[in-house]
Amino acid sequence: INYNDLEPYYAEVEKFNQVSGPTFFPWGAYHGPYPKRSHYRACMHETFRRGCEALGIPSTVGPMFILSSATKDRPGCTYRGFCKFGCMPKSKSSTLVTYVPHALKYGAKIIPNAMVVRLNVGKDGTVRSVTYLSEGNEREQEGDTFIVSAYSIETPRLLLNSKSEQFPEGIANSSGMVGKNLMVHSADFVIGKYEEMIRQYRGPQGLALTQEWYTRKPGDGFVRGYTIETETLQPIEFSQALIKGKGVWGRQLIEDMRDYNHYVSFGIVGECLPSENSTVTLTVEALAARTADYIIDAKQRFEL
């Protein structure tokens, strides 16, 4: 499977969600334009781009699953920067405000607070039902078609947990590779303080970026690349960064927090190589042992 196989589906999703982005994106296979215009750049994004320009590094504003202008049922972004803590205007295109209302409109039924634990296979080798937990009880849901789309941790957990006579090692695992080669990404950030007001909370957090080192070039000395982008640390996150990074607390933490609007955060998101050591497995025994350790630790704390 290569990018050309996936591109029509990416395009469909971007059109449905009205992805915003530049008229031209300088890296990757797809260069734009996107369904909606780019978001406005705040001081943080302009600061990033000025720094890149001074160093001779190309940069741009990236595509975002956040509305840059209103649609018939959702408003455009208000640029208050609370993307990670819940978008009250519903400008951020989460499943909750896009596909779920669309599905309900066409008759879907949502079962909240439920977790699928097993796929049940019929004699013909196809999935005939799922077992899920709801309010502490196991329930079963039959169906004709099942979509297993639970990200890179929960999907292999579900496949591995669905063992049967036909699939003793779990569904789709005849190769033994389900859960293997989990590819995560590194996520680091750098905080800098400026004389002028930056107000890093304004605007989408990862809007300005450079992928100059995302694709490997001869002589780079590494295989996978990384993206550098603007990063928003809300006040509570910023205080945690000061505590962990500088070791400040009490009065000094309060004084440092008074300068919050003068700081800007830049994130470095890197790719990792696939490795069989990066594995998702079922660890019932390990979980039981860890739970026992927690009980012992809690008892000791209580006695102290």
Instruction: Note whether residue 299 is domain-resident.
Output: no
pLDDT value, residue 100: 92
Q: How far is CA 114 from CA 13, 85, 138, 170, 284, in A?
A: 26, 23, 10, 22, 20
Name the DSSP class of 242. H
pLDDT value, residue 261: 94
> What phi and psi, each to the nearest 5 degrees, are found at residue 194?
-120, 155
pLDDT (tens, 9 = 90+) of the chain, 304 residues, equals 888 999 999 999 999 999 999 999 998 888 888 999 999 889 999 999 999 999 999 999 999 999 999 998 899 999 887 888 888 999 999 989 999 999 999 999 999 999 999 999 998 999 999 999 998 899 999 999 999 999 899 999 999 999 998 999 999 999 999 999 998 888 888 888 999 999 988 888 889 999 998 887 778 777 778 999 998 888 888 999 889 988 999 999 999 999 999 999 899 999 888 888 888 888 764 455 555 555 555 445 444 4
Domain holding 85, by residue range, is: 3-40+63-103
User: In the chain, helix, strand, coil percent, each to 5?
Assistant: 30, 20, 50
pLDDT value, residue 60: 94
Instruction: Note whether residue 282 is domain-resident.
Output: no
Instruction: Note whether residue 280 is domain-resident.
Output: no
Q: Minimal CA–CA distance to 20: which of 105, 77, 74, 72?
A: 77
Q: Are strands 226-231 and 263-271 parallel, antiparallel or unpaired?
A: antiparallel
Angle at alpha carbon of residue 199, lines to 239 and 40, rounded to 5°: 135
Instruction: Note whether residue 69 is domain-resident.
Output: yes
Instruction: Note whether residue 22 is domain-resident.
Output: yes
pLDDT value, residue 290: 55
Residue indicated by tokens 């590819």: 183
Instruction: Note whether residue 290 is domain-resident.
Output: no
Q: Are strands 137-142 and 226-231 parallel, antiparallel or unpaired?
A: unpaired
On the CB side of 292, how many CA atoms lie within 13 Å of its CA? 6
The number of folded domains in the chain is 1
- CA separation for the pair 10, 5 (Å, rounded): 10
List the beta strands (DSSP E) in the chain. Answer: 60-61, 114-121, 127-134, 137-142, 185-193, 208-210, 226-231, 263-271
pTM of the model: 0.80
pLDDT value, residue 295: 54
pLDDT value, residue 132: 95
Helix and strand element counts for the chain (H, E): 7, 8
Q: Are strands 226-231 and 208-210 parallel, antiparallel or unpaired?
A: antiparallel
Tokens for 273, please give them. Answer: 């190589």
- CA separation for the pair 75, 129 (Å, rounded): 39
pLDDT value, residue 169: 92
Q: Minimal CA–CA distance to 280: which of 127, 148, 170, 139?
A: 170
For the CA atoms of the chain, what is the radius of gyration? 24
54-90 per-residue burial string, b: 16 or more CB within 10 A, e: under 16: eeeeebbbbbbbbbbeeeeebebbeeebebeeebeeb
Instruction: Note whether residue 14 is domain-resident.
Output: yes
